[in-house]
């Protein structure tokens, strides 16, 4: 069995991955809160932004954490198409969950459906990302820990969506996103503890890209997207602020006339 190192760079990758998960969750929750206060095309656009934020945050968290992953006795490469597919799956399935909450008729039923869909999306992204690993050896999983990681993902997603439906203040959203980031990180490392690798030494070249060639630049790009979108959401007026602005302008307009 190869020795697995989950933090080759010390606390840097776990801490940075946690921060990315929190930013994605905070942005996603804020956008969902905005969506529920909006209607029509505006609601749809906020929900799409929420899904892309949560999906991107979770994916970036996973692969930033994977930058610190190593196995003694073998190099590691990543299958590029499969890694990109895991990002697409994260966004689409999380999108399904977020839209279930955004347009659901019964709140509780929408919450359960949305939480289950989003949680399964997180889990499928993680294990699809793991399937993209290329190394000299054979990867196996502890089924009990895999099951636990999926349960954590579903519970975390349901809790986050419940927060989006019931919490409106920015401070409460901030606290909820810290909890969500913690839950997503717990899911990731539970899934990683489930992994065992039987190394089969070989001098053959591995297919795929190294983490620094592919994962690192993509994580930086997606991280930048999260930061820029966070700035845009923070600066754009809420529905209440727009209403207040419009009502403030009405007396002025009548006075001019």
Within a domain: 257:
no
Within a domain: 255:
no
Dihedral (CA of 111, 116, 117, 119) sign? positive
Joined tokens for residue 142: 């502890």
Range of the domain at 105: 4-243
> How many domains is the chain partitioned into structurally?
1
Within a domain: 56:
yes
Per-residue pLDDT tens listing for the chain (257 residues): 666 766 666 778 888 889 888 888 888 888 888 888 888 888 899 888 888 888 888 888 888 888 888 888 888 888 889 988 988 888 888 888 888 888 876 778 888 888 888 888 888 888 998 888 888 888 899 999 999 999 998 988 888 778 777 777 777 778 888 888 888 888 888 998 998 888 888 878 888 888 778 778 888 888 888 888 888 887 776 655 555 555 555 554 445 55
Within a domain: 133:
yes
The whole-model pTM stands at 0.80
User: Which residues, other chains included, contact 84 with Cβ-Cβ below 8 Å and sequence gap of 6+?
Assistant: none
Within a domain: 254:
no
58 in Cβ contact with 21 (< 8 Å): yes
Within a domain: 253:
no
Within a domain: 249:
no
Within a domain: 104:
yes
- Paired with 135 in beta bridges are 76
């Amino acid at each position: 069995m190869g020795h697995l190192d989950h933090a080759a760079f010390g606390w840097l990758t776990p801490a940075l991955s946690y921060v990315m998960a929190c930013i994605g969750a905070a942005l996603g929750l804020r956008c969902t809160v905005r969506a529920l206060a909006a209607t029509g095309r505006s609601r749809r656009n906020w929900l799409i932004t929420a899904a892309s934020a949560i999906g991107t945050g979770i994916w970036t968290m996973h692969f930033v954490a994977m930058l610190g992953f190593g196995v003694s006795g073998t190099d590691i490469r990543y299958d590029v198409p499969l890694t990109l597919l895991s990002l697409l799956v994260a966004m689409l399935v999380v999108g399904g969950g977020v839209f279930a909450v955004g347009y659901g008729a019964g709140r509780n039923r929408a919450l359960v459906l949305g939480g289950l869909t989003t949680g399964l999306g997180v889990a499928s992204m993680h294990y699809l990302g793991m399937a993209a690993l290329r190394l000299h050896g054979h990867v196996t999983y502890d089924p009990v820990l895999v099951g636990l990681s999926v349960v954590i993902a579903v519970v975390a997603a349901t809790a986050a969506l419940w927060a989006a439906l019931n919490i409106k203040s920015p401070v409460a959203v901030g606290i909820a996103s810290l909890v969500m980031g913690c839950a997503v990180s717990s899911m990731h490392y539970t899934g990683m503890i489930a992994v065992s690798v039987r190394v089969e030494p070989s001098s053959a070249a591995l297919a795929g890209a190294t983490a620094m060639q592919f994962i690192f630049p993509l994580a930086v790009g997606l991280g930048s997207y999260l930061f820029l979108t966070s700035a845009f959401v923070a600066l754009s007026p809420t529905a209440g602020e727009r209403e207040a602005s419009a009502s403030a302008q009405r007396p002025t307009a009548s006075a001019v006339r």
